[in-house]
Structure 1
Amino acid sequence: MKNTYREPINGFTHLFGALISCVGLVFMLVKVLSQGGNYAALSGALIFGISLICLYTASSIYHLVNGTDKVLAFLRKLDHSMIFVLIAGTYTPICLLCLDGTLRIVLLSVIWSLALAGVVFKMFWFNAPRWISTIAYIGMGWIALFIFSPLSKALPFMGFFWLILGGVMYTVGGIMYGLKRPNISDKFGFHELFHVFILLGSLSHFILIFNYIL
């Protein structure tokens, strides 16, 4: 029987990510509400959880669904755009709960402005050179370096460990995507590895946010 899924490995790994993200959102909300439902924590948990769900849902739909060229082109744009949304969504609870005053407002404004610009960029210039997208994703992700000092005071060592580990996982995945290698086999190449490393990055940052920020 002919396989009806376009890219089953990529699609089902991120479908798994979408389902686990739903569970993770529930766990975060239960934790926040059990602590009294702090507004900043509740907002951060919702935005982070929803951004995870959006990314993995968009990715799984694009990689699993068969459709016309026009439909697939739109789904691919949406898939790539959600990467910018997830980066901003991950920064949101960090900004709300680890930073204060002007720095919090400035970083939130910058990160969501960059996310919006990234979405517009992907929607209107999707065929830009691959290296531009790779640099944009990685550069936006490592904006945390500019707030190293306040984060080092707000987070314990293990919290910082999960923050950096998540960044490394995303970066390694991004480099694989940019270079289109390594390719282990015909069915498991750089794209499949990219998806796995994105999942590992998300898991690391979930552990950070759930255990050390909320």
Structure 2
Amino acid sequence: MVTKKEITKTIKDQSKETIEELLAKGDSLKEEVASAITHGLGVIFSIVALVMLILQATKSGSAWNITAVSIFGATMILLYLFSTLMHSLMHTKANKVLQILDHAGIYLLIAGSYTPFALITLRGPLGWTLLGIVWGVGILGIIWKLYSTGKHVWISNASYLILGWCCLFAIKPMYEALGLQGFLLLLGGGLAYSLGVIFYVWARLPYNHAIWHLFVLAGSVLIFLSIFYYVAPAPAPLS
């Protein structure tokens, strides 16, 4: 026979669990809001950046330059838009699709970031080779994400880092073409993205995802500055 004491204890335990669950959900909601806000700022920045890049590229008098920087700006907008929507609609039926788009956006931005450097800065066979590699691997990554989102997370993280640093084989000509300041801005952007991964995988850290978003935003700003000052206004490529 169940005693009154046992019933009281059960009710208290259930109440405690309910409170803990509510608190956990509250913390989760706050973190999602923080993540949505950080990359919402990224959407605004990306739109402004795209306009500035196009205006800057017109100084070169080259449709080639305008196209290259537009690709970068467009992929940046897509990444931040997908991410903002995913975190804003976390508990809806659309979230699964948005999660796929969010991860696909990472591959798009990496390839999009390389595009101006490959087509304007490096030019020629080396530039086209780099462009082919990043977009080829990026498209394969997107296709893979269609079937594996939420699985093999470490493979995804590794692929982002490898694709992001695949320009190392062209580091010397990149440095020579950009100059010290332009190269350091590009390098700083890559380091910001890479260091941010530490917080992305640090699941127990409160607001780890929002912190990672700030590193991503910092990386985008640095790469934007490199392109704006040292790539977009460069003379049109001859080959």
**When the two structures are superposed, what TM-score results if normalisation uses the length of structure 2?**
0.81
Deviation at 1:179, TM superposition (A): 3.9
Structure-2 residue corresponding to 1:47: 71
CA contact (8 A) 1:5 1:66 kept: no
d(CA) in 1 for partners of 2:60 and 2:182?
20
CA contact (8 A) 1:134 1:175 kept: no
SS at match of 2:112: helix
d(CA) in 2 for partners of 1:43 and 1:5?
39
Structure-1 residue corresponding to 2:225: 207
82-91 or 26-35, which moves further after superposition?
A: 26-35
d(CA) in 1 for partners of 2:162 and 2:59?
36
d(CA) in 1 for partners of 2:201 and 2:126?
32
CA contact (8 A) 2:71 2:115 kept: yes
1:58 aligns with 2:76: no
CA contact (8 A) 2:31 2:210 kept: no
Work out which of the residue numbers 86, 89, 96 in structure 1 matches 2:119: 96
- CA-atom RMSD in angstroms: 1.8
Question: CA 1:129–1:66 in 2, change beyond 3 Å: closer, same or farther?
Answer: closer
Structure-1 residue corresponding to 2:49: 24
Q: How many residues align?
A: 205
The 4+ residue runs of structure 1 with deviation greater than 3 A are: 3-6, 66-69
Structure 1: gaps of 5 or more residues: none
Deviations 1:141-192 (A, max 9, x none): 00111101111210111111111110110001123213435x2x4xxx2111
Percent of residue pairs bearing the same amino acid type: 34
d(CA) in 1 for partners of 2:126 and 2:155?
28
SS at match of 1:52: helix
Structure-2 residue corresponding to 1:74: 97
105-114 or 45-54, which moves further after superposition?
A: 105-114
Deviation at 1:112, TM superposition (A): 0.4
Question: CA 1:102–1:34 in 2, change beyond 3 Å: closer, same or farther?
Answer: closer
Q: Which protein shows a greater Rg? A: 2
Deviation at 1:72, TM superposition (A): 0.8
CA contact (8 A) 1:166 1:202 kept: yes
CA contact (8 A) 1:55 1:82 kept: yes
d(CA) in 2 for partners of 1:139 and 1:176?
18
d(CA) in 1 for partners of 2:168 and 2:198?
19
Deviation at 1:77, TM superposition (A): 0.9
CA contact (8 A) 1:170 1:197 kept: yes
Question: CA 1:146–1:45 in 2, change beyond 3 Å: closer, same or farther?
Answer: same
Structure-1 residue corresponding to 2:22: none
Work out which of the residue numbers 108, 112, 132 in structure 1 matches 2:131: 108
Larger RCO, structure (CA 8 Å, separation 6 or more):
2
Structure 2: gaps of 5 or more residues: 1-25, 233-239
Question: CA 1:178–1:66 in 2, change beyond 3 Å: closer, same or farther?
Answer: closer
CA contact (8 A) 1:58 1:78 kept: yes
d(CA) in 1 for partners of 2:163 and 2:125?
20
d(CA) in 2 for partners of 1:195 and 1:141?
16
Deviations 1:2-39 (A, max 9, x none): x9988111001111100111011111111122442x12
1:156 aligns with 2:179: yes
The letter for the 1-side match of 2:53 is M
SS at match of 2:150: coil
